[in-house]
Amino acid sequence: MDKAVIDQFWRQRSATGAGRWTESPMLNFERELLAPMVGANCRILDLGSGSAELSRKLLLDTTHLLAVDKYPGFLEDIPDDPRVIKQCADLESFATASTFDLILLFGVVTHLEADEEESIYEKARNWLAPAGTMVVKNQISRGVELLMDGFSDALQCHYVARYPALDVQEGLLKSRFNTVRIVAYPDTFNRWPTTMHTAFVCSEPYY
């Protein structure tokens, strides 16, 4: 994948505050999926948070959120909140000695090379508390891995992305987590015939 194209895409979006391009029904679906995973004193790590539209909706009075994103423009759009810490870092170099009850990796995998994806899973399982949950969500291919490199009519720009095959992504996660539950999004959210939105709910990490 051409990382320069991906970087330019996100830099432009962060400059305009356009983190998510999904509409509110999907955001509400994801909030309802994740809300039961957030209890008192829950520690949330949002990797590739953007402006944290989703993870901020999960905050309770005693919840703590660490929002990590490479692009400072996104983090600047997160309202100041004593429950939220913002950290500007590339996910490949990000490190922490803390553990978390809920780790989110939403919409990130499609812009990672396969080895980068595996590296983040490897690190994230060590950041997850023993009873915690990691949720990985992205679009996957309906068949073999699919690469996109060309002009997107929907986004009106050059767009580069990788859509993993379901069995491959599931296998990578199952090699690190004892339990991996697949959540297929409703068909109303799947605009393209070749891909579909899917979440992998992972728990019981192997250390």
Supply the mean pLDDT for the chain: 92
> In this structure, what token pair is assigned to residue 52?
């944290």
Residue 129 has pLDDT above 80, yes or no: yes
Over residues 131-161, the pLDDT tens digits come to 999 999 999 999 999 998 888 777 777 888 9
Q: What is the pLDDT of residue 4?
A: 83
Q: What is the pLDDT of residue 66?
A: 98
109 backbone dihedrals φ, ψ, rounded to 5°: -60, -35
**b/e code 32-71 from CB counts within 10 Å (16+ = b):** ebbeebbeeebbbbbbbbbbbbbbbebbeeebbbbbbbbb
12-61 confidence digits (pLDDT tens): 877 776 665 667 899 999 999 999 999 999 999 999 999 999 999 999 99
The DSSP letter of residue 110 is G
Q: Which residue has the higher pLDDT, 104 or 11?
A: 104
Instruction: Output the pTM of the full model.
Output: 0.95
Domain boundary assignment for the chain: 3-205
The pLDDT confidence band at residue 7, using thresholds 50, 70 and 90, is confident
Calculate what percentage of the chain has a pLDDT beyond 70. 97
What class does CATH assign to 3-205?
alpha beta
The predicted structure's pLDDT at residue 33: 98
